[in-house]
Amino acid sequence: MTLDPQAPLDVDPLLDDPATRIVVCCGSGGVGKTTTAAALGLRAAERGRKVVVLTIDPARRLAQSMGIDSLDNTPRRVKDIDDAAGGELHAMMLDMKRTFDEIVEAHADEERAKAILSNPFYQSLSAGFAGTQEYMAMEKLGQLRSRDEWDLIVVDTPPSRSALDFLDAPTRLGSFLDGKLIRLLMAPAKVGGRAGMKFLNVGMSMMTGTLGKLLGGQLLRDVQTFVAAMDTTFGGFRTRADATYKLLQAPGTAFLVVAAPERDALREAAYFVERLAAERMPLAGLVLNRVHGSGAGRLSAERALAAAENLDERRIVDQTGGKEEVRTAPASGSPAAAEAPSDPTIEQLTAGLLRLHAERMQVVAREQRTRDRFTALHPEVAVTEVAALPGDVHDLAGLRDIGHRLAAGGNPAGAS
């Protein structure tokens, strides 16, 4: 049961191609992006490439599945992979604030860097300003790519309310850090007085998160100090964001949209596919996770329910004593009823299994309709499917299995 036999996503050639330097796994939250990124990284490494997986998942599931105690802003080598082909696997988890600090330290002398890092406005900005995580993920990607140490970088994009935030936030934050909005907020310092502070408060109302905790004149002084230090030390945040954007558009980058076979997840995936096309970013295809199937697909839900009902009716009609036995059966709750055997009959077990199968086939049919709607809108998108697994992936063997399923295109017809 596949989406479109004419447009399969062939994962292995993508991973094996030396021209492929960056794979970005994106999509809405909770669809398996982190597991997909880790599985792709492991498969590429065991096929001979030197790979680093960059995750932004705070749940630390990636570290646990790779047998690492913890991940941080430094790539850590993963042990116990099959390195017969000469590959390596490294993994890291983005530390948003540490990455921002590294940018400051790299572009400022020691005294000025210390002033910026201790500035309350900077601390609020680096720790929780809207878009900072997405921007720093792209900064870290740029750093990794510039070192030219890795054959392949696999990126697990940040969790967000909308997958589109991943593309928008770096530009938004870059514009902010370039100084236009900050300079606008600096105007009250030159105007002075109560009117100036009123203007500042109006401007600050546009900001979110921790900035609201800083008040009045102290906030204004923090902003002034921050802008003065930044302007004389380094600039071009917008330029850096634009450079990263071009890196994402480059031929060596491949986007994989990850989704579950559910209406909301595939709607989000469709929006992302359209946005990637509009931004001329290279889309490799769609990974459809947690697809349900049945080994008895020829038995429809309707036929299974009908068979279960027939078995129920036979248990009533075909009893040895007929209606007389029913009338003389021990009353419920009586001592005789308590002593009566309660084990289910073969017919009861069979009817229960038929009903479970009917439920599974209804899920399969619903997922198929949802997939069909997506492919009708985007027939050009190559697809691979990964069957739903009975449990979570928690080790390298599980990641290896997911990688195999990704490369094989999945086989939900044989899923359990």
What is the full DSSP assignment across 42-91? HHHHHTT-EEEEEE--TT-HHHHHTT-S---SS-EEPPS---TTS-EEEE
The confidence band for 211, taking pLDDT boundaries of 50, 70 and 90, is very low
Helix (H, G, I), strand (E, B) or coil at 236: coil
Q: What is the mean pLDDT of residues 318-344?
A: 51
Q: How far apart are the first and last CA of the chain?
A: 14
Phi then psi for residue 253, to 5 deg, are -105, 140
Pair type for strands 76-77 and 88-93: antiparallel
Higher pLDDT, 273 or 356: 273
Q: pLDDT tens, 136-195?
A: 888 888 889 888 899 999 998 876 655 566 677 666 666 666 555 555 555 544 444 454
Identify the pLDDT of residue 14: 95
Percent of the chain with pLDDT over 90: 25
Place of tokens 């595939």: 266
Identify the pLDDT of residue 232: 56
DSSP for 166-194, please give it: HHHHHHHHHHHHTTHHHHHHHHHHHH-HH
- b/e for 206-218, b at 16 or more Cβ within 10 A? ebeeebeebeeee
